[in-house]
């Protein structure tokens, strides 16, 4: 096989993410925010978690507490918004569904970014990136950037480059950039710009004389493994162009937990998807419990392969949970909201769930109550005894045991309408 022919068949990775996701989702429904500095605040309106470029230009730092910014907001014309997780969850599901049409090999990496396996000639890949970007902007209404490269680490880097360099118009195909330009970039950027390299690791690499990404690319992977670990070695190999970080099926981030999987054999029935959702519901529950977290919103999705363009179906639902929970029963039932949208007989190649709006579960550990077989631990009689001695509401299963105001009713004083998930909060269009 000749080299160009071989290259044509080498799969590459596209990394797609939404620019300033939360702020962009808000702007999609409120165009008056365009051009204004916008920040979105964390749970309970704590601190800035998303900043529009205009807000960054004001010098507002990531994580800056709102109480410090509030006194100057008016003078700056700064718009602060509470986290509208219902909106972000739905917008995310739409973006992922749309991206899934471009590749059967999709890893939803976080609420606003995904990796896709893609194939093609350099010009095909570049135009694929451009059309993905245009489609998300047109259909969903939010801007994305795309980086396409032989490895995940390089794709992330290409995306960052596309974001920061207007010349790319938001899409960077790594291999199409002249080698001299790539090398100049790598020689300019600090190692901490690399995906997975941060803080302490940066300082240790600096101590070894590795300052720029170019320095790290030149490092001996084996020596790096011996000095650090296999994870850092993989990063070096990926920077050198050898793919070694596989597509993941499960990931926990600061704000979300995702389980998604491409099936070895297509699933063609709602009953099959029901099983998959049950497995994910339980996995998500176990994982949330392990991290001491509860979720408030669950998004479930499925999709057909794009190799089978005849019977396409990409159902998704965003389910606000009745309370923050890690309960496997509730998570599974929420996942089952997808089932009415499953078309019988269609060959689904992929399905997944994403739980978002995560928060610490607090001191009470309601999850242990749901572990089977809880009957054997005499939970029922224990509950009765405690209730008899300390009164109603002193103890209970899950949220049944919360005394006083539930701690999960979040403060969201600056919440925008839940435009796409609540019939009473639809976007208003003026007929005047």
Residues of this chain that interact with another protein (CB under 8 A) are 29-34, 86, 90, 94-95, 97-98, 138-141, 314, 316-322, 330, 333-334, 336-337, 418-423, 426-432
Output the smallest distance, CB 5 to another protein, in A. 35
Is 32 or 381 the residue whose CB approaches another protein more closely? Answer: 32
Closest CA to 16 of 181, 195, 165, 143: 143
Output the smallest distance, CB 333 to another protein, in A. 6
Is 138 or 166 the residue whose CB approaches another protein more closely? Answer: 138
Is 97 or 175 the residue whose CB approaches another protein more closely? Answer: 97
Is 86 or 238 the residue whose CB approaches another protein more closely? Answer: 86
Q: Which residue has the tokens 């986290």?
A: 83
Output the smallest distance, CB 6 to another protein, in A. 35
Is 153 or 260 the residue whose CB approaches another protein more closely? Answer: 260
Q: Are strands 113-118 and 12-18 parallel, antiparallel or unpaired?
A: antiparallel
Full DSSP string of 189-228: SBGGGSTT--HHHHHHHHHTT--BHHHHHHS-HHHHHHHS
Half-sphere exposure of 367 (CA within 13 A, CB side): 23
Output the smallest distance, CB 87 to another protein, in A. 10
Is 217 or 317 the residue whose CB approaches another protein more closely? Answer: 317
Half-sphere exposure of 192 (CA within 13 A, CB side): 8
Give the tokens for residue 19.
Answer: 């620019």
Is 119 or 137 the residue whose CB approaches another protein more closely? Answer: 137
Which residues share a beta bridge with 17?
A: 113, 145
Output the smallest distance, CB 322 to another protein, in A. 5
Q: Note the Cα 194 to chain centre separation in Å.
A: 19
Output the smallest distance, CB 181 to another protein, in A. 32
Output the smallest distance, CB 263 to another protein, in A. 22
By three-state DSSP, how is residue 367 classified? helix
In whole angstroms, give the CA distance from residue 28 to residue 18.
12
Is 225 or 333 the residue whose CB approaches another protein more closely? Answer: 333
CB distance 326 to 223 below 8 Å: no
| Dihedral (Cα; 361, 409, 416, 74), 10-degree rounding | -100
Phi, psi of 204 (to 5 degrees): -70, -40
Output the smallest distance, CB 201 to another protein, in A. 38
């Amino acid at each position: 096989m000749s080299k160009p022919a071989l290259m044509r068949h080498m799969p590459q990775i596209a990394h797609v993410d939404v620019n300033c996701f939360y702020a962009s989702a808000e702007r999609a429904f409120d165009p008056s925010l365009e051009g204004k500095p916008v920040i979105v605040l964390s749970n309970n309106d704590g601190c800035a978690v998303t900043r529009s470029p205009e807000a960054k230009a004001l010098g507002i730092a990531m994580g800056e507490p709102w109480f410090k910014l509030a006194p100057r907001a008016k003078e700056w014309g700064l718009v602060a918004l509470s986290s509208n997780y219902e909106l972000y969850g739905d917008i995310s599901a739409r973006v992922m569904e749309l991206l899934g049409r471009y590749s059967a090999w999709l890893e939803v990496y976080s609420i606003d970014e995904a990796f896709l396996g893609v194939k093609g000639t350099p010009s095909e890949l570049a135009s694929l990136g451009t059309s993905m970007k245009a489609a998300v902007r047109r259909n969903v209404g939010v801007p994305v950037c795309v980086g396409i490269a032989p490895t995940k680490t390089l794709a992330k880097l290409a995306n960052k480059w596309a974001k920061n360099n207007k010349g790319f118009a938001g899409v960077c195909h790594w291999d199409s950039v002249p080698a001299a330009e790539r090398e100049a970039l790598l020689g300019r950027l600090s190692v901490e710009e690399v995906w997975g390299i941060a803080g302490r690791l940066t300082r240790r690499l600096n101590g070894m004389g590795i300052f720029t990404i170019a320095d790290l690319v030149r490092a001996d992977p084996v020596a790096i493994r011996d000095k650090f670990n296999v994870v850092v070695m993989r990063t070096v190999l990926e920077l050198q162009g050898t793919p070694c970080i596989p597509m993941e099926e499960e990931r926990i981030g600061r704000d979300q937990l995702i389980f998604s999987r491409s099936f070895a054999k297509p699933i063609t029935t709602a009953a099959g998807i029901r099983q998959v959702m049950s497995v994910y519901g339980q996995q998500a529950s176990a994982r949330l419990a392990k991290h001491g977290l509860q979720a408030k919103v669950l998004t479930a999705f499925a999709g057909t392969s794009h190799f089978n363009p005849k019977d396409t179906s990409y159902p998704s639902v965003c389910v606000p949970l009745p309370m923050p929970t890690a309960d496997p029963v509730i998570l599974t039932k929420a996942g089952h909201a997808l089932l009415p949208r499953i078309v019988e007989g269609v060959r689904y190649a992929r399905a997944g769930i994403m739980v978002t709006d995560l928060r610490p579960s607090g001191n009470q550990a309601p999850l242990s109550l749901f572990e089977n077989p809880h009957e054997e631990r005499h939970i029922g009689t224990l509950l009765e005894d405690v209730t008899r001695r300390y009164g109603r509401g002193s103890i209970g299963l899950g949220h049944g045991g919360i005394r006083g105001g539930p701690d999960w009713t979040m403060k969201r004083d600056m919440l925008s309408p839940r435009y796409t998930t609540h019939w009473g909060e639809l976007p208003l269009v003026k007929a005047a």
